[in-house]
């Protein structure tokens, strides 16, 4: 049951990251205007939004590859989870530094902090599975 949940969570994270990255690449200005709170972080910069869009495509791909290759799952899930955690910590730092108010943490939680928490949790599970030598592919877990 836990295996199936972790693999499902990785697939959800992958889909969300790929969708976000695709949106950022295809219509960066619309992404900038539509995502809550983004306009308060500074002026629109198409190059920057597209750069981050590429990162989100890589994050999503990494989560997907981890579901398909259990022997490499720890690396494929740890890398994007570390980036997501750093991104979330940066948001906390912005509040601590007075760049934005604490309400930003609540607003950003579903899209910033929660994915980082989920990623770190499924990576911890993958580490435990690797130590036990028990792997499951997405097909086996379903």
- Give per-residue pLDDT as tens, 3-50: 999 999 999 999 999 999 999 999 999 999 999 999 988 999 999 999
Looking at the structure of the chain, the number of domains it has is 1
- Give per-residue pLDDT as tens, 63-87: 999 999 999 999 999 999 999 999 9
Long-range contacts, stretch 70-73, CB < 8 angstroms, 24+ apart: 70/129, 70/135, 70/136, 70/137, 71/135, 73/126, 73/129, 73/130, 73/135
- Domain containing 76 equals 2-141
Please tell me the pTM assigned to this model.
Answer: 0.89
């Amino acid at each position: 049951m836990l295996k199936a949940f972790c693999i499902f969570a990785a697939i959800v994270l992958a889909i969300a990251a790929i969708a976000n990255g695709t949106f950022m690449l295809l219509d960066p200005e619309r992404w900038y205007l539509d995502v809550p709170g983004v306009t308060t972080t500074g002026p629109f910069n198409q190059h920057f939004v597209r750069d981050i869009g590429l990162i989100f495509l890589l994050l999503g791909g990494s989560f997907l590859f981890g579901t398909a290759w259990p022997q490499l799952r720890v690396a494929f899930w740890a890398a994007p989870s570390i980036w997501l955690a750093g991104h979330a910590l940066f948001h906390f730092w912005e509040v601590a530094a007075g760049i934005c108010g604490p309400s930003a943490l609540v607003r950003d939680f579903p899209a910033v902090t929660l994915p980082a928490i989920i990623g770190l949790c499924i990576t911890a599970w993958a580490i435990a599975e690797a130590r036990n030598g028990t792997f499951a592919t997405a097909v086996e877990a379903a």
